[in-house]
Structure 1
Amino acid sequence: MVLHEQALPDFVREHNIDHVTLDIIENALKNIRHEMDRVLVTTAVSPIIREQADEFPLIADRQGRMVVGQFGSPVDTVLEHSPYKVEDLKDGDVIALNDPYMMEGSTSHLPDILLVRPIFYGGDHIGYALQWGNLMDVGGSTAGSIPIDARSIYEEGVRMPPVKLYDAGVLNEEVLRFFCHNSRTPRETRADIMAIAAGTAAGAQRVKDICDRFGKETYLEACDALLDRTRRSVIELIRRHVPEGQRFEFEDYTDDDGLGNGPIRLKLAMWREGDTLNLDWAGTDPQVPGPVNFLLNKRMFQMFVGVFLISAFDPTILFNDGYCDVIKVNIPEGSVLRPKEPAPLSNRLVVMARQFDVLSAVYAKAIGFKVSGSYGTSPNFVYSGVNKNGEPFQTMEILYGGIPAIPGKDGLDGHSWWPEFLAVPAEYMETYYPLVVEEYSARRDSCGAGQFRGGCGIRKVYRFLADGRITYQDDRYHTYPYGVDGGKPGSPSKKTLVRRSGESVELPSKVRDVPVFEGDRLVFETAGAGGVGDPLSRDPEAVAKDVRWNLVSQEAADKEYGVVLKDDGTVDPAATEARREELRKSRGELPEFDHGPLPPLEEQRRIIAETRRKFNEWLSHELGAARANGAR
C-alpha cells in the first residue's frame, strides 16, 4: 500500500512553521532531554543511576506521543490504567508507577520506576515530561529484586499502580514512604525517586521556556511537524533499503530461564508491503516459568525497528513516535515476548538483548549487506550483607560484554548497547562498599575473530571484605554470540568463585543468594561479541596490535587469523601468507551466520537442566553450611 492510500495520522499535513524555527525547537528539545539526564544523574544516589546512567527521559506532545526520547511513549497505557483522566490533570501533578503490566512493558521490570508529569502553559495542557530510572531495590525475595528463581511477579517486589506522587505540586509523602518502606535500600530509593522527579520538572520548565520564546501555538505546531518529518524520512528509508515482495527470517536462542528450562527460541520475520514494514514474532517460544520473560511493548519495538534504519543510514533523523503507524508488529500473546500476567519479569534483560540480535540479523538479510555480529552480554550484579560495623549494605551494577563488529569497524570492548551507559568506577565501589576490585580488563581471546573482530568481553575480579551474598543474571553461557559473513562467534560468559581456601567453583550464568565470605573472590567474565568477515582477510598489522594490547593471544593470532609474529612482535609477512594459504585449504565454506560448536537442541536442553540441578545441589549445601556457621 503506497503512502497516499493510507489513512494518514492527523499530524501529517502542511505545517505553518518555517524550517529555521522548526530546527531551533528540535535542537532545544534534544537539549532538554540531555538536561533531564544531567539533573537526574547528578542528584541521584545509587551507583546504577548516578554512575551508570540507567535511566531514560522523553518529552511527549499533548496526545502523549514521544517527540524526543528513546523508548516510545507509554502515556496512553498509563492513563488507561490509572484513575486519572487527561482533563483531571493539573500543573504540578506527577504520576508514578513501576508495574510493567500496567504500562504494556514500557518499563520491563519492577525496579524501573516511571514518573509522568503533564506540562501546562497558560492554563492549557501542552504535553508531558517523562523519566524512568532503575532503582536499587523494590523488595521481593532477594536483594536487588532480581530473583532468578521467581515464578510470578509477586515474588519480585512491590507493585505500584499509577498514583499521584505529586498533586498540584504537593508531595504525597504517604505514597513515597510506603514505597520506600518495601525497599531494602530506602535511603537510595527515596533519593533516586526525588531525583527522577527533579528531571521531569526540568524538562517541563524548559518546554515552557520554548513557549515563552516562540509562543504556545508555534510549539504545538512544531511537535506535529517533527513527528511528520520523521515519519516521511523513515518511509523513505524503508522504500530505499528494504526490498518489497521478500520475506526475511532469523532465529536465535537465550540460554535458559534460571530454573533449568531452555534454550529459549526467539524467531522474527520481516517483509515490506508498499510503505509499511511488517515484523512478526510468530514461532517465538511460549513464556517460561522463570523470570527471563520480556514484556515487549509494541510501540517500543516499533521504535527499535526505526532506530536501526536511522542509525545505519541517516543519524540526522530525529526518532520519535511519528513513524509508528508504518511499522506493523505482531507479538503472539503468551510468548516469552508477550507473557501473561503474573509471569515473572525481573531478569528480562537477557531476552531483551537477544531480540536486538535477532532484529539485527533480519536486517542483515534484508538490506543485502552484513550488518553486525551478535552482542555479548549485559548482566546485573548484586552484593549484599552486613559490614563489620553491623550496618547492612547492598550494591548493584550492570556489567557489559563486547559490542559486535560492523563492516569496516571492530566492535567495542566491554561496552553497553546503550551508548550513554557507563561502568561503575572501581574507586566508587571500593569507597562505599566492602570489596576490592582486583582487576577490570578486557578479556583476552573473547572477541569473535573476523576481518573486523567483535568486541572483547570484560574480566572483573571482586575480592569481598565482608560476609554476604551475591546475585546476578547473565546469559551466553551455553550459547555463543554469533559471527556474520565468515566471522567467528564471541566466547561465552563464565563466572568462577574462588574461596579463600583456594577452592574454585564454576557458577552458571544466573544465580541468587550465593553465600560469600571475607577473602573470597569472584572472577566475572562477560561474553565477547561476534566478528564480521573472513578472519584471514584481517589486516595483519591490526592483529599484531591486538596481540600487543593483550586482546588476542599469539596462539589465536596464528590459529584464527593466520598471522605469524616474530620474536619482537612484528608481523612475518612471508610466514603469514603461507600460514593463511594453509588455513584456507583446510577449511570448508564459511557460514553466513556462525553460532559456534553447539550440540543438537535436545542435548542442549539436557545440559542446561543438568547444570541447574547440580548447581542447586551445591547451593543447598553452601547455604546449609553458612547457616551452621551463623552467617546472615
Structure 2
Amino acid sequence: MMKIDAITQEIIQSSLRATSEEMFLMIAKTAMSPIIYEVLDMATAITTAEGELASAGSGIPAFVGALDKTVQVIIGKFGLENIKDGDIYVTNDPYFGGVTHLNDVIFVKPVFAEQQLIAWTANIAHWNDVSGKSAGSMSPDAVDIYQEGIRIPAIKIFQDDQPIDSVLDIITHNSRMPDFLQGDLWAQIAALRLGTRRLQELSKKFGVALFLAALDNYLDFGEAKARTAVCNLPDGTYQLTEPQDDNSQLAVSISVNNEHLTIDLTQAPAQVPGPLNLSRDGTLLACRMLLLSLVGDRDVTNGGSFRNLEVITRPGSIYDVEAPGACGIYFETMIRLNDVLWRCLAEQIPGALPAGNFASICATILGGQHPDSGQHYSIVEPEMGGWGASAMGDGASAVFSAMHGDTFNCPAEIAEVRYGVAVDQVALNPEECGAGEYRGGKGIVVDYRIKSNDSFLTCAYTRSVVPPWGLNGGFDGTTNRIEILRPQQAPTRHAMESELSLQAGDTVRVITANGAGYGDPKKRNRKTLQDDIRNGYISKDYAIEVYGW
C-alpha cells in the first residue's frame, strides 16, 4: 500500500466530492424537464474502476446507492477487457442494473488515464415518459414490466465518444415527450464528460498510483465510520411486524453483533401482480439508508460504508422480485421497508431515531393537453410531508421523505407555465394530531386546478390508512391522501389510482400526513405551547384537551 499524507488524502477526497457536485449542477442547469432541473429528481456519483462507490453528489439518497450496482452489472456483462475509453452505457431495467424502475435512467462512463481504467462517472435522472401503457410510465394497475415502458438492458449508447444513432432513435421514439427526453439525455451525457475531465486532471496532478491508493484509503475510512456507528447500538436481535394499508404485514428482523448489522427480510410477502415490487438491489438501498441515518455523515458515504451490512432476502418476494414482475411503484415499497426498519430500532433503542413521519413519496402524476400550446404535458411530483418528533425537538414541517432527501418542490409558477394547471393553494396541513412533549411536523395541502378537459390523475400514496407512529407516549400523525373536488359533487378520496379522468374545473387536492409526536404531551413547554397556538399549529380547544393547557 502506498502511504499518503493526511493533507493529500483530504484534498483528493474533497476533489471527488466537488466533482460529484459539479456533475450534479451540470444536469440541474441543462436538463429539459422540471422534475430534474427544479425538483432535482436525480443523483451523481463516482465509482472505483471495480464499481465500488467512491463519492456521491447531492440528490436523492436512494439513487446514490444505485449507481455502483449499475457499474458492476456493466462490468459483469461486458468484461473489463472489452470496456474502452469513449464508451458510455445506459440502463433503466431493474433486472439489468437499473435497480429502481423504468423512468429512472442511468448513464455510466469509464474514466481512463495513462491507458488505464481508474474510475467511472455515473448519474441517474427521472425521465417523464418512457412509453408503457400509461402516460408518465407509472401505472398502479400494471401487471408486468412490459406494461411500464421501454426496457434498456445495460447497453452501450456511445462508442469512441460518439452516439450510436440507432440506439438513440429507439429510445427517443418510445416516449410521448421525445423533446424532453433528448434534452435530459444530453444533460446527463454532458455531466459524465465533465466528471471524466475532472478525474483525469486529478489523476494527472497526483499521479495515477497515488490517486488509486487514495480511493482505497477513503473506502476504508467509510467502513470505519459505519462500524463505529453500529458499535454504539446494543447487541441483540430486534423484530417488528407492522400492518400496512392493504392489510398485509411487513416483518423485519435486525441483528446487531458488535460492528456488524444483519437485516433478515425472508418473511416478506410474495411478490405481487401489481407494480409494488422491489428488486433486491432496491431493497439494499432501503437498508443502506437506515445505516446511513445511524452514521449521520453523508459526506463520507462510499462503498466502504456498507461492508458491515448484510441483507438476507427471499427470491420471489416483494423485496427480491423475479422477472417479469412490475416495479413501477417500487418507491412506495422501498420507503415502507425503510420506515419499518426505522421503527424497529426507534421503538427498541430509545433516542436513536425520531418518531414516524409521512413516509411516502406521494407520487402525483397529472397529464393532458396543455391549454395554451395544445401539446401533451405530464407533471410528475413527489410531495412534501410532516416528519416525526424526536427526543431532541419537534418534527420538521413540509420536508420530503428520507428517500427523496435533497429534492425540492416544483414552484407554483413553473407548474402553471409548463404544465398548464393552476396552483390555487399551498399550505400546511391544519389537521390536529401528532401531539407530544415534542410535536410532529406538519404536512401540506396543495390544490391543482385542472384547466383542460380529458386530463388524468395517476397517484401512488401509502400511509393513507395506517398513520405515522408515535414514540414514548407521543400521539400518532395523520394520513396521506388525495381528494378530488368536482363542481356540484361530493369530494372523493384516493390513494392508488391509474389514469383517473379529470375535466376542466376539477381540483386535485393533495393532503400529506402530519408527523407523529414524541413524549407525553402534558410535558410540553408552556411557552412553546402558547407559540403553537399563536402560530396556528394547534387550536386552543386541542391544547386544553390534549396538552392540559
1:201 aligns with 2:190: no
Counterpart CA distance in 1 for 2:520 and 2:374 is 57
Candidates 327, 332, 339, aligned match of 1:345? 327
Deviation at 1:415, TM superposition (A): 1.1
Work out whether residues 144 and 324 of structure 2, in 8 Å CA contact, stay in contact via their aligned partners in 1: yes
Counterpart CA distance in 2 for 1:299 and 1:286 is 18
Deviation at 1:35, TM superposition (A): 0.9
Aligned to 1:258: none
**Matched letter for residue 544 of structure 1:** Q
**Matched letter for residue 433 of structure 1:** Y
1:465 aligns with 2:455: no
Counterpart CA distance in 1 for 2:502 and 2:7 is 60
**Matched letter for residue 337 of structure 2:** Q
- Indicate the SS of the match to 1:100: coil
Judged with a 3 Å threshold, the aligned counterparts in structure 2 of structure 1 residues 214 and 299 are, in CA distance, closer, same or farther, namely farther
Aligned to 1:385: 368
Deviations along 1:374-401, whole A, 9 cap, x unmatched?
2213211122112345332222221122
Counterpart CA distance in 2 for 1:277 and 1:235 is 9
Judged with a 3 Å threshold, the aligned counterparts in structure 2 of structure 1 residues 277 and 307 are, in CA distance, closer, same or farther, namely same
Aligned to 2:341: 359
Aligned to 1:283: 267
Computed over aligned residues only, the root mean square deviation of the Cα atoms, in angstroms, reads: 1.9
1:65 aligns with 2:65: no
Candidates 48, 58, 64, aligned match of 2:35? 48
Aligned to 2:241: 251
Aligned to 2:124: 132
Deviations along 1:227-269, whole A, 9 cap, x unmatched?
0111122222222x1222x2111233442xxxxxx22322221
Deviations along 1:453-496, whole A, 9 cap, x unmatched?
22211100111111111111111111111111111111012322
Counterpart CA distance in 1 for 2:424 and 2:152 is 39
Candidates 222, 237, 242, aligned match of 2:233? 242
Range 44-53 or range 65-74, more displaced: 65-74
Counterpart CA distance in 2 for 1:76 and 1:469 is 37
Matches within 5 A, 1:132-281: 132-239=124-231, 241-244=232-235, 246-255=236-245, 262-281=246-265
Deviations along 1:406-450, whole A, 9 cap, x unmatched?
221222112112331100000001112221100001101355222
- Indicate the SS of the match to 1:533: coil
Work out whether residues 277 and 328 of structure 1, in 8 Å CA contact, stay in contact via their aligned partners in 2: yes
Range 554-563 or range 225-234, more displaced: 554-563
Deviations along 1:21-52, whole A, 9 cap, x unmatched?
11111111111111111001111111111111
Give unmatched runs, 5+ long, in structure 2. Answer: 57-63
Judged with a 3 Å threshold, the aligned counterparts in structure 2 of structure 1 residues 489 and 331 are, in CA distance, closer, same or farther, namely same
Deviation at 1:294, TM superposition (A): 1.9
**Matched letter for residue 30 of structure 1:** R
Counterpart CA distance in 1 for 2:292 and 2:534 is 36
- Indicate the SS of the match to 2:515: coil
Counterpart CA distance in 1 for 2:208 and 2:432 is 54
Counterpart CA distance in 2 for 1:409 and 1:32 is 35
Work out whether residues 243 and 366 of structure 1, in 8 Å CA contact, stay in contact via their aligned partners in 2: no
Counterpart CA distance in 1 for 2:473 and 2:438 is 10
Aligned to 2:485: 498
Aligned to 1:484: 471
Aligned to 1:35: 22
Work out whether residues 226 and 306 of structure 2, in 8 Å CA contact, stay in contact via their aligned partners in 1: no
Aligned to 1:434: 420
Judged with a 3 Å threshold, the aligned counterparts in structure 2 of structure 1 residues 306 and 370 are, in CA distance, closer, same or farther, namely closer
Candidates 295, 298, 310, aligned match of 1:310? 295
- Indicate the SS of the match to 1:130: strand
**Matched letter for residue 367 of structure 2:** S
Deviation at 1:77, TM superposition (A): 4.2
Judged with a 3 Å threshold, the aligned counterparts in structure 2 of structure 1 residues 525 and 136 are, in CA distance, closer, same or farther, namely same
Counterpart CA distance in 2 for 1:453 and 1:509 is 25
Aligned to 2:519: 533
Counterpart CA distance in 2 for 1:226 and 1:81 is 24
Deviations along 1:337-361, whole A, 9 cap, x unmatched?
1121111111122111111212212
Counterpart CA distance in 1 for 2:285 and 2:375 is 41
Deviation at 1:525, TM superposition (A): 0.5
Judged with a 3 Å threshold, the aligned counterparts in structure 2 of structure 1 residues 214 and 561 are, in CA distance, closer, same or farther, namely same
- Indicate the SS of the match to 1:24: helix
- Indicate the SS of the match to 2:435: coil
Judged with a 3 Å threshold, the aligned counterparts in structure 2 of structure 1 residues 80 and 254 are, in CA distance, closer, same or farther, namely farther
Matches within 5 A, 1:534-613: 534-563=520-549
Counterpart CA distance in 2 for 1:129 and 1:254 is 39
Aligned to 1:612: none
- Indicate the SS of the match to 1:484: coil
Matches within 5 A, 1:313-332: 315=297, 318-332=300-314
Counterpart CA distance in 2 for 1:122 and 1:43 is 31
Deviations along 1:125-153, whole A, 9 cap, x unmatched?
10101100011011111111111111111
1:456 aligns with 2:456: no
Judged with a 3 Å threshold, the aligned counterparts in structure 2 of structure 1 residues 299 and 18 are, in CA distance, closer, same or farther, namely farther
Aligned to 2:407: 421
Judged with a 3 Å threshold, the aligned counterparts in structure 2 of structure 1 residues 184 and 550 are, in CA distance, closer, same or farther, namely farther
**Matched letter for residue 352 of structure 1:** M
Judged with a 3 Å threshold, the aligned counterparts in structure 2 of structure 1 residues 351 and 301 are, in CA distance, closer, same or farther, namely closer
Counterpart CA distance in 2 for 1:96 and 1:536 is 56
Aligned to 1:627: none
Judged with a 3 Å threshold, the aligned counterparts in structure 2 of structure 1 residues 252 and 203 are, in CA distance, closer, same or farther, namely farther
Aligned to 2:60: none
**How many residues are aligned here?**
535
- Indicate the SS of the match to 2:491: strand
Counterpart CA distance in 2 for 1:225 and 1:366 is 35
Deviation at 1:58, TM superposition (A): 1.0
Work out whether residues 47 and 120 of structure 2, in 8 Å CA contact, stay in contact via their aligned partners in 1: yes
Work out whether residues 351 and 390 of structure 2, in 8 Å CA contact, stay in contact via their aligned partners in 1: no
Give unmatched runs, 5+ long, in structure 1. Answer: 1-13, 256-261, 564-632
Work out whether residues 303 and 320 of structure 1, in 8 Å CA contact, stay in contact via their aligned partners in 2: no
Deviation at 1:201, TM superposition (A): 1.6
Aligned to 2:504: 518
- Indicate the SS of the match to 1:198: helix
Counterpart CA distance in 1 for 2:51 and 2:433 is 42
Judged with a 3 Å threshold, the aligned counterparts in structure 2 of structure 1 residues 210 and 433 are, in CA distance, closer, same or farther, namely same
**Matched letter for residue 251 of structure 1:** T
Deviation at 1:368, TM superposition (A): 4.0
Judged with a 3 Å threshold, the aligned counterparts in structure 2 of structure 1 residues 348 and 91 are, in CA distance, closer, same or farther, namely same
Counterpart CA distance in 2 for 1:129 and 1:96 is 12
Work out whether residues 497 and 522 of structure 1, in 8 Å CA contact, stay in contact via their aligned partners in 2: yes
